[in-house]
Structure 1
Amino acid sequence: MADVGIETTQNVRINFQLASVGERISASLLDFLFLFVMSIIIMLFAGILGESKVWGLLFMIPLLFYTLLFEVFMNGQTPGKKIMKIKVSMVDGSAPTFSNYLIRWMFRLIDISLTYGICGILCIVIGEKGQRLGDILAKTTVIKTKRKVSIQNTILVDIPENYELVFPESKNINERDLPLFKKVIAQIESLEDPVEKLQFGLRARKNVMEKLEIKTEMQPLQFFKTLLIDYNLIHRDK
């Protein structure tokens, strides 16, 4: 599948890989399996408690909202999506709200149930952002989640010998922004078009400079690498 651009809270555009049709189908099949097992367990309990029709109906209600409930409370993932390492995301990068999840869930009836998934698959394949009909209306898509990495890979970097602090303002960097800086560095290094590379780097540098109140003409790639080293230097002995 293609990539989709996600705007971070730093207003930096980072590309994420869209979940493939196969991954989404696999996640749905896994969820169906979980639903099947849950249904059997519920019916067994209903039979034990008596009045199986009443209890069966009462217990079956949560199953109807299975996808909606899990996506709302598991940050865009159902158990199937979690296993397949994919999740629901807004196409503009913001976190989906309950109404976004609700719209996706409501249109499962058309995308999946009534059309046996054909409508959803066609929309995903034909579209550019991996969206089924429910996604289009909810302005969401499904992306691959990044593998968890250790703090060593996201924060710590080597400090050159005899290195001197360049930006004292680095003390104001939020630790949560450091993985983002590394993503920006990787994004700059991966771009082949010099113009696109420069535009992306300057835009990212401008946003961070404004936030940290830094003034510099340093090249974007070196700027972000320097921020990481400065941060580590400042916090090395703490």
Structure 2
Amino acid sequence: MADIGIETTQNVRINFQLASIGERISATLLDLLFFFVIYMILLLVIGLIGKDAVWILFLLVPLMFYSLIFEVFMNGQTPGKKIMKIKVSTVDGSAPTFLNYLIRWMFRLVDISLTYGICGILCIVIGEKGQRLGDILAKTTVIRTKRKVSIENTILVDIPQNYELVFPESRKINEKDLPLFKKVIAQIESMEDPVEKLQFGLRARKNVMEKLGIKTEMQPLEFFKTLIVDYNLIHRNR
């Protein structure tokens, strides 16, 4: 499966696996099934309460915005995407905005509805970033959320007994930086080529060192693990 390199706000390039055509089609079919179930339930409810067709239209209007609503409130996922473990992401690594989701939703009409999905599939296959037309205009793509190497979502780690702060500059670390450090650690540990591993680690270390004002020759893997422990030590009693 093809990867996409996303530049984070720390100027660290993290690779994510693009969702495959099969995964995206499966997610769409699951969403259609979910949509159909909701539709039938609404019809049943309307039939039981004896309301007319106006109520049907009133209740079904929100379903027109099915994917938009779910992606906005479920962090880039619909129920189908969540089951398939894929999600919408921007190509620059920033958090998708409502406008990103709105643009890709609007172009579902061209990518999926009017062309029976042919336009969307062709764009995804031809392009390098797994983007349908709506994704290209919204500057988004769809990635896998399940990585080869699992990453702990928590920022809490055990602090060794008698541990002393290594980098006083760690006080500049933002809580949002911790997931990035964990992703860098996971990627370093997952890389097999020692040269690529070292080059990636040094680049990532250099970028973070410059931001925090740290000078060290510590190995990249140990460096990022130390930053996480330092952060926990600093904030442990707050």
CA distance in 2 between partners of 1:235 and 1:54 (Å)? 57
Aligned-pair CA distance for 1:163: 6.7
CA distance in 1 between partners of 2:124 and 2:234 (Å)? 47
Partner of 2:200: 200
* Range that drifts further, 70-79 or 114-123: 114-123
Matches within 5 A, 1:14-163: 14-146=14-146, 149=152, 151=154, 155-156=156-157, 159=160
Q: Which amino acid aligns with 1:149?
A: E
CA distance in 1 between partners of 2:95 and 2:163 (Å)? 40
CA distance in 2 between partners of 1:149 and 1:167 (Å)? 23
CA distance in 2 between partners of 1:94 and 1:163 (Å)? 34
Provide closer, same or farther for how the CA distance between residues 234 and 16 of structure 1 changes in structure 2, counting only shifts above 3 A. same
CA distance in 2 between partners of 1:176 and 1:8 (Å)? 11
- After TM superposition, the score normalised by the length of structure 2 is 0.84
CA distance in 2 between partners of 1:191 and 1:157 (Å)? 27
Aligned-pair CA distance for 1:155: 4.4
CA distance in 2 between partners of 1:40 and 1:102 (Å)? 26
| Secondary structure, counterpart of 2:16 in structure 1 | strand
Residue ranges of structure 1 left out of the alignment (5+ in a row): none
| Secondary structure, counterpart of 2:88 in structure 1 | strand
Q: Which amino acid aligns with 2:203?
A: R
| Secondary structure, counterpart of 1:169 in structure 2 | helix
Partner of 1:224: 224
CA distance in 1 between partners of 2:151 and 2:181 (Å)? 16
Q: Which amino acid aligns with 2:84?
A: M
| Secondary structure, counterpart of 1:11 in structure 2 | coil
Aligned-pair CA distance for 1:115: 1.9
Identity of aligned residues (%): 76
Aligned-pair CA distance for 1:174: 3.9
Q: CA RMSD in A?
A: 2.7
Q: Which amino acid aligns with 2:152?
A: V
CA distance in 1 between partners of 2:24 and 2:12 (Å)? 27
Aligned-pair CA distance for 1:134: 1.2
* Range that drifts further, 202-211 or 27-36: 202-211
| Secondary structure, counterpart of 1:92 in structure 2 | coil
Aligned length: 234
Conservation of the 8 A alpha-carbon contact between 1:155 and 1:179: no
| Secondary structure, counterpart of 1:214 in structure 2 | coil
Residue ranges of structure 2 left out of the alignment (5+ in a row): none
| Secondary structure, counterpart of 1:19 in structure 2 | coil
* Range that drifts further, 57-66 or 2-11: 2-11
Conservation of the 8 A alpha-carbon contact between 1:6 and 1:14: yes
